[in-house]
A and B are shown apart, each in its own frame.
Chain A
């Protein structure tokens, strides 16, 4: 459900960048979504189709790069992908971890004409 607000913010950001570049049309939007944010690409697409109508970004292709939730063990300092129900480090069995990936939520680039 947070996708509506997130898509609106994303669209505002894209249109601002496109206007700065004097672009007539936005063809593609490259997004980076961290797995941990719980943002669903399909929902973003749905809201985008609706919100972008009549703007230079209408019919732009959304490209999603999903970043898996990655943790760094605070004991052995190695990185690993966070399991669903087990947050133990697979290397040293340590329990203290730091999240190093998966919180991303940004517009990487746009392609304009």
Chain B
């Protein structure tokens, strides 16, 4: 006997993500899911964002890594509540892992939750966590062909940051071609060239983020 199913395989993840979202909305917390390849500058961007929003917006952070608490330690030095999720091998965060971390996040006391996903340009694009926006951090050393290699990730992003632009004089990276490729597949994406080292472009990113929080 054949049974018609036609059900999304990740439907279960989606349901938990919606529950997370209700919890976020109920606590008036705006959530950004930060995704990037390893070493693109996710933690550096979080640190720069925290520095600029100090005294303006109360931030919490969830750090997703396969192992270690290095990133969480760096962020807790800024006096921001941070929860580390070690996925123990899983290459992405999913809605369920996120929900189990939420009781440790002081949702009542924060306005903005930054979730640093596991460094990976493939799997995190598939799993929503209940976030309001998805932010992709790309960086100059990775090369300007990445939108073509990881189209789903670039297609899903609300904002794309091009980090490490201080390295542009030393590396071959065509910012215009890169931006054109992203805009071609994802017209809504907002693109910010930034450097977490020199601070260039970070203010523009932060004011955009504040606009989204409303």
Contacts and interface: CB of A to CB of B under 8 A. Distances in A.
Contacts, number: 102
Interface in B145-201: 145, 148, 151-152, 155, 180-181, 183-185, 187
Given A38-B122, A82-B151, A108 B6 contact: yes
Contact of B94 (A5, A36, A37, A112): A5
Contacts of A82: 151
A2 B9 CA distance: 12
Contacts of B151: 36, 69, 82, 99
Nearest to A87: B184
A60 interface: no
Contact of B184 (A31, A36, A97): A97
Interface stretch (B10-18, B21-29, B71-79, B205-213): B10-18
A57 interface: no
Between A4, A12, A21, A87, the greatest number of chain B beta carbons within 10 A of the residue's beta carbon is seen for A87
A82 B148 CA distance: 10
A61 to B, nearest CB: 13
B194 to A, nearest CB: 24
Q: Is the interface of A mostly helix, strand, loop or mixed?
A: mixed
Which interface class (under 10, 10 to 19, 20 to 34, 35 or more) fits A?
A: 35 or more
B92 interface: yes
A71 B151 CA distance: 12
A109 interface: yes
A55 interface: no
A110 B5 contact: yes
B91 A110 contact: no
B56 interface: no
A110 B3 contact: yes
B185 A112 contact: no
Contacts of A31: 9
Interface in A1-30: 1-2, 4-6, 9-10, 12-14, 17-18, 21, 23
Contacts of B145: 85
Contacts of A97: 184-185
Between A10, A18, A37, the greatest number of chain B beta carbons within 10 A of the residue's beta carbon is seen for A37
Contact of B152 (A17, A21, A103, A111): A103
Contact of A1 (B8, B123, B183): B123
B51 interface: no
A106 B8 contact: yes
Contacts of B108: none
Contacts of A10: 9
Interface of A: 1-2, 4-6, 9-10, 12-14, 17-18, 21, 23, 31, 36-38, 69, 71, 74, 82, 84-85, 87, 95-97, 99, 103, 105-113
23 contacts: A1-B122, A2-B127, A5-B94, A5-B123, A6-B9, A9-B10, A13-B12, A38-B152, A71-B185, A85-B145, A85-B148, A87-B184, A99-B151, A105-B9, A106-B7, A106-B8, A107-B5, A107-B7, A110-B2, A110-B5, A111-B1, A112-B1, A112-B2
